[in-house]
Amino acid sequence: MNSSAVYRFALPLGLLLLVFCSTSLALECYQCAWLEGECTIKQTCDPTMTSCMRVTQIDSGMKYHSCRTYNTCNIKAVKEELQLQSNIKLDCCQYNLCNKGFTGLPASGLILCLSAALLLLFS
């Protein structure tokens, strides 16, 4: 078996294992109620919670971090639940510990980009 055939077999198998190994059963999010500073408390979400949320009060800059069901991650629902009257910025995401900051590429996106590049390279 030549090296080209090995790469064609091993590369997809390795990428498949990488994707499955990087996926956990429950999402992990930061969990803090109304902080000015950085949230460092990590929480494993209930399996029904499919996203991490960060709410920022525009006026005060205070932030609220938690797990949330993705389909209820909208400003109206969050303002009702948290009984907020002020303007807020709402960010929701669906990968581990993503509600600390919202810059950069998610790990799953990075894995997909690298996978595509490797497949093109060894095809």
pLDDT tens digits along 6-41: 556 555 655 444 444 444 579 999 999 999 989 999
Q: Total domain count for the chain?
A: 1
**Residue 77: strand, helix, or coil:** helix
Cα–Cα dist 7/9, whole Å: 5
**Quick one: pLDDT band at residue 120, thresholds 50, 70, 90?**
confident
Q: State the pTM of this model.
A: 0.63
**Residue 88: strand, helix, or coil:** strand
pLDDT tens digits along 90-118: 999 999 999 987 544 455 555 666 667 66
56: domain CATH number is 2.10.60.10
The DSSP secondary-structure symbol of 72 reads: G
Full domain range(s) for residue 78 = 3-122
